Chains A and B, each alone.
Chain A
Amino acid sequence: MQIDYIGSLPLIVIWLALGAIGIVIQAFVRDNTRLVFGYYVATLGLTGLAAIVLSGHKGASFGGMITLGGYANYFDALFCGAGIMALLAARPYLQKEESEVDEFYTMLVSSVAGMMLMAHASNLVVLFVGIELMSISFYVMAGFFRTSTKSVEAALKYFLLGCFATGFLVYGMSLIYGGTGSLAYGDIARTVVTQQLTYPTLFVVGTTLLVIGLSFKIAAFPFHQWAPDVYEGAPTAVTAFMSTAGKAAAFSAFVAVFVALLPAGWTSEIAQNQQIVIAVIAAATMLLGNITAVVQSNVKRMLAYSSVAHAGYMLMGILAGPSLGTDGMNGHHAIVFYATSYLFMQMGAFVVVGILERRDGGFLNIDDYAGLHHRHPVLAALMAVFMFSLAGIPPFAGFFGKYMLFAAAIERGFTWLAIVGVVSSVISAWFYLGLIVKMYFQDAKDSGHEAPAGLAGFTLAVSVVGVVFFGLFPQLLINIFRSW
């Protein structure tokens, strides 16, 4: 067994800090949420730093179960950054809701650990462990307001349906094992390339089930239905995190799995049918998410449906696949770019919602946002930026993400899908810009309330800087992608 201790440092740091030290600290200090909060912020900071420093250190570790460097480390840094942003946003939110318990931070960090495993996995079992670690943490976090029926309902639904989906995921993995005789990405890829599949049917059904399991995690049609209910019911700070980082993690796994399962891209005969499956899922997800978002009256729910739609956009990148286009980019690069920019804009939007939300759970209707720019000019302006970016309006990051995905899809002959994407973007502009119109061009109904941002202000600042910065300098990220 070979272990690359240096390269595995980000994973080792977060495992030890979380499992060995954090737990003991929490066992001995009582009601010192500040200490635990600080400890975990530092943990994520250190982990992220290690990931960035070691991003050039490529290789494998733990007997080839885990890949190191490049792509995986990029996601490590992304998840740790998102985790810190979420922690900072969550603390004032939980304090406002008077439910601050230090275990919340533990769950959040353990979900980050799960996401990191997903990105690092080069074996289906590791992937499964990562997914479960992340998901179980999410189940708990979704139900964190245990006296709120909505929160509990969300957690229970998420848990039940999540288990259901996990069942198919594992079943898919076992069928893939049956078909190829291995769970390691590399071996699977080799078997497929050399066409030594023992049972092609088993393999194909297995990959489909795996896709289905992952589609549940990214909330793609028809496995999306948990998302609106869960995102609405869960505490807003949790939604902000799981609808962004969770989705990015699922996509990081999606991409890695696809490279393994379809090593020849979409050219092989087996892949043709899978490609249609993904295309249908992507088209339906984009349309359904955006169309349903139009009729929502609750901001969280609207954003939840929009998050469904964004999963559809990103699936286009999977379709475009790993073959490089004329621009030296592939569909997977486009996904990573989109996931990054999406993380900033969606988290920013949810954090604004969380700041504005009242103690009693009020102020979540879209109508409540009327005239917001008079009462909270800064929050309204930030929200407007996030909405513009989500709608894909230049010069914000969301525009480039969409541009790359659509361009990638068109280049691989999926013009019809890009058209569906553009149409659904137009539909989405309706409710994104509708919210801006509400905030800026309508009169407020009531005099409003105090909405101090506190630490969440930092999260917002980072989000808005990210959205603007990556919109103005997309090349910086693209250069990183090209180094992989």
Chain B
Amino acid sequence: MLHTYVPFMVMILIGIIFGASNILLAEFLGPKKSTRAKLSTYESGMEPVKSARERFSVKFYLVAMMFILFDIEIIFMYPWAVQFKELGMYGFTAMILFMILLFSGYIYVIKKGALRWD
């Protein structure tokens, strides 16, 4: 039974070797000359002006979470759409119910002002 996994093992092994060898090769082969420009945050970009450790507004997280939440919806709908005919009326009703629940959540989000930016 286990021999079916051999290709996986080989794949994993190759991946490890490839990643490790690249890092190690660069470390050993690459020349190291540190200049002021090279050590700056963005070598050919703008000069950084202040600390990067800044606190973000919780709204970013809220929006991000909402996005994930409603994005998942699509993932659910995709397999349903693929099997639409086979699932028939049962699948359709279930999906409608699912959409209703999700939509009432959406109303809640809107009314609570979770997506209002200011």
- Residue positions of A touching B, CB distance < 8 A: 1, 15, 19-21, 23-24, 26-28
Contact = CB atoms under 8 A, between A and B. Distances in A.
Contact of B101 (A1, A19, A27, A28): A19
B34 interface: no
B76 interface: no
Nearest to A30: B111
A19 B111 contact: no
A23 B105 contact: yes
Interface residues of B, number: 10
B100 A27 contact: no
Q: Interface SS of chain A: helix, strand, loop or mixed?
A: helix
B90 A23 contact: no
Q: Interface SS of chain B: helix, strand, loop or mixed?
A: helix
B90 A27 contact: no
B108 interface: yes
Contacts of B112: 27
B10 interface: no
Give me the 6 closest cross-chain CB pairs, A-B, nearest first.
Answer: A27-B111, A27-B108, A19-B101, A1-B90, A23-B108, A23-B104
B101 A24 contact: no
Interface in B57-95: 90
B107 interface: yes
A23 B103 CA distance: 10
Interface of B: 90, 100-101, 104-105, 107-108, 110-112
A106 B114 CA distance: 17
B81 to A, nearest CB: 18
Nearest to A106: B108
Contacts of B104: 19-21, 23-24, 27
Contacts of A27: 104, 107-108, 110-112
A159 B12 CA distance: 32
B5 to A, nearest CB: 13
Contacts of B107: 23-24, 27
5 contacts: A19-B101, A23-B107, A23-B108, A24-B104, A27-B112
A1 B108 CA distance: 31
Given A24-B107, A27-B104, A27-B108, 19 more contacts: A1-B90, A15-B101, A19-B101, A19-B105, A20-B100, A20-B101, A20-B104, A21-B104, A23-B104, A23-B105, A23-B107, A23-B108, A24-B104, A24-B108, A26-B108, A27-B107, A27-B111, A27-B112, A28-B111
Contacts of B105: 19, 23
- Select the residue from A15, A24, A27 with max chain B CB neighbours within 10 A: A27
B107 to A, nearest CB: 5
A401 to B, nearest CB: 38
A84 to B, nearest CB: 24
A8 to B, nearest CB: 13
Contacts of A21: 104
Nearest to A29: B111
Contacts of B111: 27-28
A1 B111 CA distance: 36
Contacts of A28: 111
Nearest to B102: A19
A92 to B, nearest CB: 25
Nearest to B111: A27
A202 to B, nearest CB: 11
A23 to B, nearest CB: 5
A113 B48 CA distance: 51
A225 B54 CA distance: 35
Contacts of B100: 20
A283 B111 CA distance: 52
A24 B109 CA distance: 10
A20 B96 CA distance: 12
Contacts of B90: 1
A65 B107 CA distance: 30
A376 B53 CA distance: 53
A15 B105 CA distance: 13
A20 B90 CA distance: 19
Contacts of A20: 100-101, 104
